[in-house]
Amino acid sequence: RGELSIVMGDEERGAAAAPLLLPASPSSASRHHEAGCPGCALDRRKESSGGRIPYKELFFVGLTTLASSLPITCLFPFMYFMVRDFHVAKTEEDIGSYAGFLASSYMIGRAFSAIFWGIVADRIGRKPVIVFSILSVVIFNTLFGLSTEYWMAIATRLVLGSLNGLLAPIKAYAIEVCQAEHHALGLSVVNTAWGFGLVIGPALGGYLAQPAEKYPQIFSKESVFGRFPYFLPCVAVSLLAAIVLISCIWMPETIHKHKSPEKDIQKVKALPSEQSYLDSPRKKSLLQNWPWMSTMVSYCFFGLHDTAYSEILSLWAVSDRKYGGLSFSSEDIGGVLAVAGASLLVYQLIIYHWVHKFLGPVISSRVASALSILIVSTYPFMTYLSGAKLSFALYSAAMMRSVVAITASTGISLLQNHAVRQDQRGTANGISTTAMSFFKAIAPIGAGYLFSWAQKHQDSTFFPGNQSICSVLVVQKDFLIIHT
C-alpha cells in the first residue's frame, strides 16, 4: 500500500470517533499492483489464494519469533546461581537485587532501540530487520553463556537487547501476510511463539544449566561445559537461532516500495466517512491516533506485570523454604514452565480462536486480566503444601496463568495493529515496544528488590514477605483491568 497524499478537513474528528478495532478494507482487491514491488506481489498471492490460511508464512513468523524470545528468559532458572557464582552479592539475601539488574539489562537495551528498528522496518522492509535480529541472538547470546564476570553478563545482555529489534516488525509482518479474516490468527501465532519461547526458555535453562553437576556421565568438569556451567543452554538457543537464520532466505518481503498513483487518491477521497478513516494516511502524528494510544497503557502495564511475575516465580521457587520459597532446583522449575508452555501451545492452536470469535479482543483481555488476579493470589499459600498436592497446585496455576496471559496480550496486540495503517505499523510497534521495554526493564529491578525485602521480612506477623509480593502483582492487574 503506497503513501496516500490527501487532505481531510475533519481528520481530528474522524480519529476521535474511530472504533478501536477497525474492520478490514473492502477495497484491497481493486488496489493498483506495481511490477517489482514485493508488497504488491504478496497482495496478488493473497487475492488469488481464495481465503486460504498462509501456513508457510505463518510458520516462518512462529519460528523467528520463537528464536528471538528464547534468550529473554532462558537465564531465569539459573540466574540466581549465576549471580551467586560471580561473588558480587555480599549476602544471600542480596542476590535477588543483582539478579534484577541482570534481567533488566536486556529490556533497557531494547527500550532504547525499538523505535529505531521500527522506523528501519518501515523504510527498507521487515525482512532485513528480522534477519539482523536473529543474527544478533546467535552472536551475543553465545557470548553471554561464556560470561565470567558480572559486568560481562550485563554488557552482553544490554547489547543483545539493543540489536534484537524483531518484535516490532514481526507483528506488522504477521498482519501483512494474512488476509483480513486471518489477522487474529497471525497475531495469535506471534504471541503463541513469543509466549512459548518465554516459557520454554526457562525450561531449557533449568534442564541444561550446570550440566557437569547434573549429568556427570556426559559432561566432565574439565570440559568447556564444566568450566562455563551456564554455556550449554545459551549455545542451544544460539544453534536454534542459527537454523532459523538460514531459513529466513525463503521469507517473502511484505512492505510496499512504491507510491500510489493519483487515481487511487481520488478513490479514497470518494469513500464514505468510515472507509475514508480506514484508508486515510493519518500521517500527522501517531501520538494523535487515540485508538492506538489507548492501547499503549494496557500494553505497558501488562508487560510490567508479566515480567515481574516471570522473575519472581523463578526466584521464589528456587529459594529456601526458610525464606518462604519452595526449595526447588532449577530443573524442577524448568519442568513446571515446560508444562505451562505445552498448555499454552494447545490453547492457542485449538481454543483461542473460539474465545476471540465469541468475546472479541476487548472483553477477552478484561476477563483474562481478572482471572489472573485470582491465580496469582494463590501462590503464597502453596508454601504450606508439599508432595503431590504442591505439584498439582503449582502446575495448575502456572498453566492457567500462561493461558490468561496470552489471551490478554493477543487481544491488546490485535487492537494496536488494527488502529494504524501499514506504512506506520513498524514505527507504531517500535514505539509501543520501547514503552513496554521501559516498563519491563523496571519490573526485574523492582521485583528483585521486592524479593530481597520479602526474604528479609518473611517472619513478619503483620504482612509476610511472600504475600506482599503477590499483593503488588494483584494491584498491577487491578489497574490493567480498570484501564482496559
Which residues lie closer than 8 Å to 421 by C-beta, 6 or more apart?
A: 1, 279, 280, 281, 282
Q: How many CB atoms lie within 10 A of CB 480?
A: 26
Task: Report whether pLDDT(431) > 60.
Answer: yes
Burial of 482 (0-12, 13-18, 19+ CB in 10 A): exposed
Q: Which residue has the higher pLDDT, 159 or 74?
A: 159
Q: What are the contacts of 373-376 at 24+ separation with CB within 8 A?
A: 373/474, 373/477, 373/478, 373/481, 375/400, 375/401, 375/404, 376/309, 376/401, 376/470, 376/473, 376/474, 376/477
DSSP-derived 3-state class of residue 18: coil
* Percent of the chain with pLDDT strictly greater than 90: 15
Here the cell at position 213 is: 553437576
For position 235, what pLDDT does the model report?
94
Rounded alpha-carbon distances, angstroms, from residue 444 to 104, 283, 311, 335, 441: 5, 36, 7, 22, 6
Taking only Cα atoms into account, the Rg of the chain, rounded to an integer number of angstroms, comes to: 23
Task: Report whether pLDDT(156) > 90.
Answer: yes
In a domain, 50, yes or no: yes
Amino acid (one-letter) located at 210 = Q
For position 35, what pLDDT does the model report?
63
Least confident of 20-29, 119-128, 406-415, 427-436: 20-29
Block residue for cell numbers 480519529: 15
CA dihedral 243, 249, 250, 255 (to 10 degrees): 120
Tell me which range, 206-210, 269-273, 275-279, 419-423, is most confidently predicted by mean pLDDT.
206-210
Least confident of 105-119, 260-274, 300-314, 354-368: 260-274
- CB–CB of 60/251 below 8 Å? yes
Task: Report whether pLDDT(344) > 50.
Answer: yes
Mean of pLDDT values over 297-326: 78
Here the cell at position 127 is: 525482512
How many domains, the chain? 1
Task: Report whether pLDDT(161) > 80.
Answer: yes
- CB–CB of 268/236 below 8 Å? no
For position 27, what pLDDT does the model report?
42
DSSP-derived 3-state class of residue 192: helix
Tell me which range, 83-87, 140-144, 331-335, is most confidently predicted by mean pLDDT.
140-144
125 — alpha (psi -120 to 50), left (phi > 0) or beta? left
Rounded alpha-carbon distances, angstroms, from residue 434 to 105, 109, 166: 14, 9, 12
For position 134, what pLDDT does the model report?
95
Task: Report whether pLDDT(143) > 90.
Answer: yes
Give residue 345's pLDDT band: very low, low, confident or very high (50, 70, 90): confident
pLDDT digits (tens, 9 = 90+) for 468-481: 445 444 444 444 44
CA nearest neighbour of 73 among 188, 160, 146, 147 = 160
Q: Which residue has the higher pLDDT, 430 or 105?
A: 105
For position 242, what pLDDT does the model report?
95
In a domain, 31, yes or no: no
DSSP-derived 3-state class of residue 264: helix
The rounded distance, in Å, linking the Cα atoms of 349 and 340 is 15
Amino acid (one-letter) located at 207 = Y
- CB–CB of 274/262 below 8 Å? no
The rounded distance, in Å, linking the Cα atoms of 147 and 336 is 27
In a domain, 261, yes or no: no
CA nearest neighbour of 62 among 166, 188, 193 = 193
Task: Report whether pLDDT(83) > 60.
Answer: yes
For position 370, what pLDDT does the model report?
86
Task: Report whether pLDDT(71) > 80.
Answer: yes
Burial of 357 (0-12, 13-18, 19+ CB in 10 A): exposed
Rounded alpha-carbon distances, angstroms, from residue 54 to 46, 57, 179: 8, 6, 9
Block residue for cell numbers 533488566: 104
Terminal-residue alpha carbon distance, the chain? 31
Here the cell at position 332 is: 524442577
Mean of pLDDT values over 432-436: 81
The rounded distance, in Å, linking the Cα atoms of 340 and 212 is 27
In a domain, 117, yes or no: yes
Least confident of 44-58, 105-119, 261-275: 261-275
H or E segment at 187? helix 183-208
pLDDT digits (tens, 9 = 90+) for 456-465: 665 544 334 4
For position 6, what pLDDT does the model report?
38
Q: Name the residue range of residue 228's domain.
A: 38-256+288-483
Q: How many CB atoms lie within 10 A of CB 144?
A: 27
Q: How many CB atoms lie within 10 A of CB 262?
A: 9
DSSP-derived 3-state class of residue 125: coil
CA–chain centroid gap for 323, Å, is 31
Least confident of 10-24, 123-137, 152-166: 10-24
Which residues lie closer than 8 Å to 396 by C-beta, 6 or more apart?
A: none
Task: Report whether pLDDT(171) > 70.
Answer: yes
In a domain, 27, yes or no: no
Q: Which residue has the higher pLDDT, 422 or 277?
A: 422
Give residue 275's pLDDT band: very low, low, confident or very high (50, 70, 90): very low
For position 278, what pLDDT does the model report?
42
Give residue 200's pLDDT band: very low, low, confident or very high (50, 70, 90): confident
Q: Which residue has the higher pLDDT, 99 or 137?
A: 137
CA atoms within 13 A on the CB side of 41: 9
What pTM value is reported for the model?
0.67
DSSP-derived 3-state class of residue 193: helix
Mean of pLDDT values over 358-386: 86
* Percent of the chain with pLDDT strictly greater than 70: 79
Give residue 18's pLDDT band: very low, low, confident or very high (50, 70, 90): very low
The rounded distance, in Å, linking the Cα atoms of 324 and 468 is 11
Give residue 2's pLDDT band: very low, low, confident or very high (50, 70, 90): very low
For position 463, what pLDDT does the model report?
39
Block residue for cell numbers 483480513: 180
CA–chain centroid gap for 39, Å, is 26
The rounded distance, in Å, linking the Cα atoms of 264 and 273 is 16
In a domain, 269, yes or no: no
The rounded distance, in Å, linking the Cα atoms of 391 and 397 is 10
In a domain, 268, yes or no: no
Tell me which range, 230-244, 346-360, 381-395, is most confidently predicted by mean pLDDT.
230-244
Here the cell at position 414 is: 490485535
The CATH number given to whatever domain includes residue 464 is 1.20.1250.20
In a domain, 155, yes or no: yes
CA atoms within 13 A on the CB side of 191: 27
Task: Report whether pLDDT(176) > 80.
Answer: yes
- CB–CB of 321/330 below 8 Å? no
